[in-house]
Amino acid sequence: MSGTHSHGEGISSHKMWLATAITFSFCLGEALVGYQSNSLALMADAGHNFADALALALSAFALWIATKPADNKRTYGYHRVGILAALVNAVGLAIMAVVIFWEAIQRLQSPEQVQSGPMIWVALLAIVLNSGIAWWLFSAAKADLNIRSAYLHMLGDAIASFGVVVAGVIIVFTSWYIADPIVSIIFAMLVLWSSWSIFTESVQMLLEGTPAGMDLAKVELEIRNVTGVLNLHDLHVWTISSGLVACSCHILVADQSVSGGQKILQDVAHMLEHDFRISHSTIQIEVEDCGGHNHAIQSHHEHLHHHAH
């Protein structure tokens, strides 16, 4: 069984729960003001804030459960819960965007009067709140898809809130109430765009595809270049969870002592970790004898190490 692997440096599930509570409380107030001022953009922003709260809660849960140790039923532990959380967040974002887009189309056909004052002030407060949480998540978002999905929720809502402010200012000076649904449509498109990258990356991980940015041909070439490796086959590289990449392969070496074969195995594992950040490798050695037949000997090496990003 592998050991535990930490995610999201500097971000604990307790802090994520605190951010969830703050966001949820704010979205309730924003929805109330949006309803009273008849602003679809503000209510849409409140809806996104509610989705933010759910996203943060889901990410917090994933961070907590990922700390549970591996067991006989889940030998890699619970790291993939974070990928599932990211996938659910992405789908939730897309659904919310479609709903907002539909409501905005209705408003375009029948524009309604909007109170711009409350709309502007609440949106400004939302910018401060969402930007602050997004900034707090930024560093951890680089290395963890789960945190990145929550980060994009907060960043997207900060941008949307800025759009609400712009729409409010336009309404103040021109009484052009159609600005409200137009901003909502732009916001919905931004949300769809941000959710797509999270959706595709999480699906790629769940399908155990080659990690994004990983050149499998280069990995194969570098393994062949390790001294003592004559050939290789059955090379697989996949992502267990964000920051935890695994590799398995069979390498062919000349007939030699077991310690010699072990040295080649260690060199390959070290190269994979150092050059490609593949922290979990399983390598089978096959020996070529004088008759040209291959025989498998001592078969695997496992190495699990946390990389700082």
Q: Mind listing the pLDDT tens digit for each residue in 174-227? A: 888 888 788 878 878 877 877 787 788 888 888 877 887 788 899 999 999 999
pTM summary value: 0.62
- Which residues have CB under 8 Å from 24's CB, separation 6+? 50, 53
Mean per-residue pLDDT, 54-73: 74
Which structural domains are found in the chain, ordered by start? Answer: 13-206 (1.20.1510.10), 216-296 (3.30.70.1350)
Confidence band, pLDDT 50/70/90 cuts, at residue 306: very low
Confidence band, pLDDT 50/70/90 cuts, at residue 90: confident
Q: Give the CA distances from residue 49 to residues 54, 102, 256, in Å, rounded to whole numbers and listed in that order.
A: 9, 18, 63
| pLDDT, tens only, 17-34 | 888 888 888 888 888 888
Whole-angstrom distance, CA of residue 92 vs CA of residue 141: 19
pLDDT score for 250 = 94
- Percent with pLDDT over 70 in the chain: 83
Confidence band, pLDDT 50/70/90 cuts, at residue 261: confident
Contact 284, 252 (CB under 8 A): no
| pLDDT, tens only, 111-137 | 767 777 777 888 888 888 888 888 878
Contact 37, 114 (CB under 8 A): yes
Whole-angstrom distance, CA of residue 218 vs CA of residue 69: 33
SS (H, E, C) 186-235: HHHHHHHHHHHHHHHHHHHHHCCCCCCCCCHHHHHHHHHHCCCCCEEEEE
pLDDT score for 211 = 81
Contact 7, 309 (CB under 8 A): no
Residue type, 168: G
Whole-angstrom distance, CA of residue 43 vs CA of residue 7: 34
If residue 283 lies in a helix (H) or strand (E), which one and from where to where?
strand 278-288
Mean per-residue pLDDT, 35-46: 75
Sign of the four-CA dihedral 12, 18, 19, 20 = positive
Whole-angstrom distance, CA of residue 289 vs CA of residue 291: 5
Rama region for 243: left / alpha / beta (φ>0; ψ in -120 to 50; rest): left
User: Kindly report the CA angle at 21 between 19 and 27, in degrees rounded to 5?
Assistant: 100
Across 37-41, 59-63, 79-83, 228-232, the highest mean pLDDT is recorded for: 228-232
Whole-angstrom distance, CA of residue 30 vs CA of residue 124: 11
Q: Helix, strand, or coil here: 82?
A: helix
Say yes or no to pLDDT of 63 above 80.
no
